[in-house]
A and B are shown apart, each in its own frame.
Chain A
Amino acid sequence: MIYDRIEFQAKPFEYKLHFTTRITLVRGDSATGKTYLYQLLEDVKQLDAYHNIKLFNYKSDDFHTSLWACRGKFIVIDNGDAILEEEDKKFINFEKTNEQRKQPGYIGRCQSSDSRESRYLLSGI
């Protein structure tokens, strides 16, 4: 089960993340909280409800191998500009089990609960 919504509280804010596409890019000025969101998700993933979250950043061991092994995960990547190679980007964009879910007009939209499918939250891309 991949998540369309991730909702939690971390004072002083309440977070309601709603995802409508298979790949979500988080962009913005520096110091607006992209990495902070990643760090919050490090805690959120400890909850049973969100155990399919898989997090990667520049500290991750065997990043490329681990990324390519992911199936049925909600993948969150911080420092994407620094750690993603071209082959990783192709994997994210075109990996077959994910590509099959694309629908006309809803490129990348998740239409299935197929457990092999992964979702991506790419921070700072």
Chain B
Amino acid sequence: MSLLKSREVVLGGVIVLLLAAIASRFPGFVAPANLGRVFTDTSPLILLALGQMAVILTKCIDLSVAANLALCGMVAALMDGMGVPMPVILGTVVVMGAGLGAINGALVWGLGIPSIVVTLGTMTIYRGTIFLLTEGAWINAHQMSDAFKAVPRQVILGLPVMAWIAVAAIAGVAVLMTRTALGRAFYAVGGNPHAAVYTGISVGRTQFAAFVLAGALAGLTGYLWVARYAVAYVDIAGGFELDVVAACVIGGIAIAGGAGTVAGAVMGALFLGIIKNALPVVGISPFWQMAISGAAILAAIAFNARRRDPGRIILKRAEVRA
């Protein structure tokens, strides 16, 4: 019974139903090779959703992840243009992404500004910085080295490196969330900040750590994105932060903080990724596509609201009984 109630199981069931519905119109979609392609395509969303999950768990939100991604991606492309070797580029984007996340975290922690305001501001600043770096110019496929474009495409054991990076990140964040003090602190801070303080957890520092994690993942994704689409310009991944938040919400990460699982975030991202990849092939009018995506998000959220985890109202229930 508790298994049926688990939101992850329900979401998994919905994804299977969705795949079955798509397969009835376009059987080729569920071929293993195509599912692998869909997973690869969804990898950036999964990576960002994992970082966003940590941030949302601590009662914050990071709207600057897509801008962070775009800025780090542009820097990676610029470095490649200067002939910097690949390992250095990879190291730089992760450190730089973490640094940009740390700016968000420091403002939230140090100045106590609400995260939605901080990240709304840094989102614009990061995008503006790309414009300053490039004056709006594009970096195109022929200006990137072959090695730069090849890394995410390299196939190992049937899946491109990009997908393996997502798999590694899922495993890494799952261990972090369930097996480390920091991971548990994310839940504690969001679930009950006062109780967290009494147990010796610094709320601000935990939120800071969540922003740094989200930033580092966004920085890494920035390189993957630019290399995959072989183009870098100011507006890449425009509006992607909303997809990331939607993936988390669909995955059952409580927007009020403190509840949610890695499996949920990943399945939320996959749900959106499957819809995005299926709509072009099932022959639905493009005019309907946006409405369908939106309806799916609303349906998931309505479901989420109905099945609210009652774990934190033990005392109220006890009061009612008494």
A and B: real partners? Answer: no
